[in-house]
Amino acid sequence: MAKIIDGKAVSAAVKEDVKKEVEALKANGVEVGLAVVIVGNNPASRVYVNNKKKACEACSINSYEYALPEETTEEELLNLVEKLNNDDSVDGILVQLPLPSQIDEHAIIAAISPEKDVDAFHAENVGKIMIGEYNFLPCTPAGVMELIHSTGVTVEGKDCVVIGRSNIVGKPMAMLLLHESGTVTICHSRTKNLADICKRADILVAAVGKADFVTADMVKEGAVVIDVGMNRREDGKLCGDVKYDEVFEKASYITPVPGGVGPMTIAMLMKNTLTAAKRKIKE
């Protein structure tokens, strides 16, 4: 039977530390600000953006929301990004994805100043992560590492399997596990013998986007299982990528959905925004 990794508790601790530092900066006349840009009416994005704003409040970070209509052009969004790049009260810029189809996501990410890119999606920041010399870590993989650390399990020498190869989660996740000397395998939709590979994992990270994808027969006895999935069942209930009830019996540690990785992503965003603001005191 697994121990449950409490993402809410770990994220609360991270946010508390951020808040203390933000307030210490404030006492020295330095305010910390995050601009959150949302384009269109995607309901999931609306929920995420509201949660990010709430987290800013909890951490004493100023949040500036820019809600643009669905028909916004790429040029209009680029103009806003440029304005935010040049705004000293904005330390971090987050453009919520996905964007409407008339806007090229890559062009927008490339336009965000790497120093304000608190998602760590810009190619410069991605490159820095590859060589291990980064300012920001992407929020979800960084949150997963915090959760793994909270168990006391070390990554060094462990077989780590990441299911999913997205730019946002799978690829950077693999890199962070590698930085801590894990032996890392990335699986994806074309992987052969996926179940056998997963079954070798001491640490298994599922970022597939399919409900109940990881079943108990794919999990090694005693594995640490991290579920990045956020899927909605037909009845509207949230669930992860892992068939929780049966994997719970086999894993040593497991993250629930909700209440696992989700809250960590936002906590790490707060941490990145603080990191971005510290640049001002070094200059």
Annotated catalytic residue, options 52, 116, 158, 243: 52
Binding range to ligand GUN, per CB under 6 A, among 94-102, 171-179, 194-202, 210-218 = 94-102
What is the helix, strand, coil percentage profile of the chain, to 5? 45, 15, 40
Contacts of range 188-194, beta carbons closer than 8 Å, 24 or more positions apart: 188/163, 188/164, 194/163, 194/218
Q: Measured from the CB of residue 95, what is the shortest distance to ligand GUN in angstroms?
A: 6
Nearer to ligand GUN, 107 or 216 (CB): 107
Take residue 30 and report the two structure tokens written for it.
């330095």
Q: Does 255 bind ligand GUN (CB under 6 A)?
A: no
- Closest CA relative to residue 257, chosen from 225, 283, 235: 225
Question: How many residues bind ligand GUN, per CB under 6 A?
Answer: 8
Binds ligand GUN (CB under 6 A): choice among 11, 63, 96, 255: 96
Q: Measured from the CB of residue 48, what is the shortest distance to ligand GUN in angstroms?
A: 6
Q: Residue 78 and residue 68: Cα distance in Å, rounded?
A: 12
Q: Which of residues 211-250 bind ligand GUN (CB under 6 A)?
A: none
Residues 129/141, Cβ–Cβ less than 8 Å: no
Q: Does 94 bind ligand GUN (CB under 6 A)?
A: yes
Nearer to ligand GUN, 160 or 168 (CB): 168
Q: Does 107 bind ligand GUN (CB under 6 A)?
A: no
Residues 254/244, Cβ–Cβ less than 8 Å: yes
DSSP secondary structure string, 157-180? Answer: T-EEEEE---TTTHHHHHHHHHHT
Q: Which residues are catalytic?
A: 52, 96, 119
Site of interaction with ligand GUN (CB under 6 A): 94-97, 119, 139, 168, 265
